[in-house]
Amino acid sequence: MTTSPTHLMLLALGLVVALLLALLAAAGAAKLARLDGATYPAALARAASAFAVTFTLAATLTGVLAQVLS
């Protein structure tokens, strides 16, 4: 089965949006951790965790959407 360029472009756009959303969540988590008095390594760990969870969830939803559209 061939995939149309439109579907591939929508999938790529979805992944880019997921990446940007994950970066925004990570930045917010790091800022909130620092405001809470966490050290830089602890804030970085919270940001990494928030990035991983958000990107995994968004990429999974993008994959499900790609399956539904095809």
**Residue 66 and residue 15 in contact, taking contact as beta carbons nearer than 8 Å:** no
- CA-to-CA separations, 21 to 7, 49, 70, in angstroms, rounded: 21, 14, 24
Report the domain count for the chain.
1
Q: Identify the DSSP state of 15.
A: H
| Confidence bin at 1 (pLDDT 50/70/90) | low
Which tens digits make up the pLDDT trace of 23-54?
Answer: 999 999 999 999 999 999 999 999 999 999 99
Q: Cα separation of 43 and 47, whole Å?
A: 6
All residues at 6 or more sequence positions from 53 whose CB lies less than 8 Å from its CB, including other chains: none
What is the model's pLDDT at position 68? 85
Whether 49 is covered by a domain: the verdict is: yes
pTM greater than the 0.75 cutoff: yes
Whether 7 is covered by a domain: the verdict is: no
Whether 33 is covered by a domain: the verdict is: yes
Range of the domain at 38: 18-69
